[in-house]
Amino acid sequence: MSNPFIKKLSRFVVLGDEEVGALEHLSRNPRDFKGGHDLILEGAKPEYVFLLMEGWAYRYKHLKDGSRQILAYLLPGDLCDIHVFLLDEMDNSIGLLCDSKVVMIPAGEVLSVMDQFPKIERALWWATLVDEGTLREWLLNVGQRNAYQKLSHLFCELAVRMKAAGLVDDDGSFSLPVTQIELADTTGLTSVHVNRTLKRLRDEKMITIGSRRLHILDPERLAEVAGFSQEYLHVEGEPVEMKLRTRLGKVG
């Protein structure tokens, strides 16, 4: 299963051949995009749903004073803006952090696949719920933790998600094409303070960071510092549909 989209939805429902076929059809023809560019800007009329097949993207929003909040990182298999259906215009921008492969799916096509395959609709809904859970963790992170804990928590989360996407090396390191400025805009800090905090994490031998890679040297201690537990990401165990079947004695 090399299609990260199908791999991801399989965490939620058990897909039949027809459904796999439909998803493969949806994700045919990814286009190559250069890193540093934006897929879509706040205010644009959304026509496509962007599906990331390879690379890194991020969702962000600007304030009038120029400050920026990064709202999510998007990894292979993630839909960038399924909430497009609601919007007359985009309420956030999506940028690419490195060269990436992206499928642009016309919004109507997503809708008709959902109409045809209720299971896919439900899987997409569940994916949305995971995104929401992640957002809640981010809010907790930004609202309540100090700089040291914030960065630790972010790194723990990214490690788990990258692992689930099969993108962590044997030595435990993974690509992190993110500048300290971006880490700052993610956590609500300044890049100067991020820099000092990274130095501390490095000095304490918990991480190695540089040349766009992160290596977590001491995962246990990092998770301890962050107060991290990975349940909210729902990357482990059998598909949600199966768990639900067991729990409620019925098919979702």
Partner DNA sequence: CGCAAGTTTGACGCTGCTCAATCACTGTGG
Partner DNA sequence: CCACAGTGATTGAGCAGCGTCAAACTTGCG
Considering only residues 112-171, where is the footprint of DNA by CB under 7 A?
A: 146-148
Token pair, residue 35, equals 């890193």
DSSP designation for 233: G
**Stretch touching DNA by CB under 7 A, among 84-92, 118-126, 175-183, 215-223:** 175-183
Query: Counting contacts by CB under 7 A, is residue 69 touching DNA?
Result: no
Nearest 5°: CA angle at 141, between 223 and 149? 45
Site residues for a copy of itself, 96-115, by CB under 8 A, read: 107-108, 111-112
> Given candidates 29, 112, 116, 179, which one binds DNA under the rule CB under 7 A?
179
Q: Which of residues 132-151 bind a copy of itself (CB under 8 A)?
A: 132-133, 135-136, 138-140, 142-145
Q: Determine, following the binding rule CB under 8 A, whether residue 235 of this chain makes contact with a copy of itself.
A: no
Position 172 contacts DNA (CB under 7 A): no
Q: Is 238 in the site for a copy of itself (CB under 8 A)?
A: no
Residue 152 backbone zone (phi > 0: left; psi -120 to 50: alpha; other: beta): alpha
**Taking the complex as a whole, how short is the minimal distance between the CB of residue 109 and a copy of itself, in angstroms?**
10
Q: Which strand (E) or helix (H) includes residue 193?
A: helix 191-203
3-state secondary structure of 161: helix
Is 220 exposed, middle or buried (CB count within 10 Å of its CB: 0-12, 13-18, 19+)? exposed
Question: Among 17, 88, 170, 171, which residue sits at the site for a copy of itself (rule: CB under 8 A)?
Answer: 88
- Candidate residues 181, 213, 238, 243; the one interacting with DNA per rule CB under 7 A: 181
Pair 153, 139: CB distance under 8 Å: no
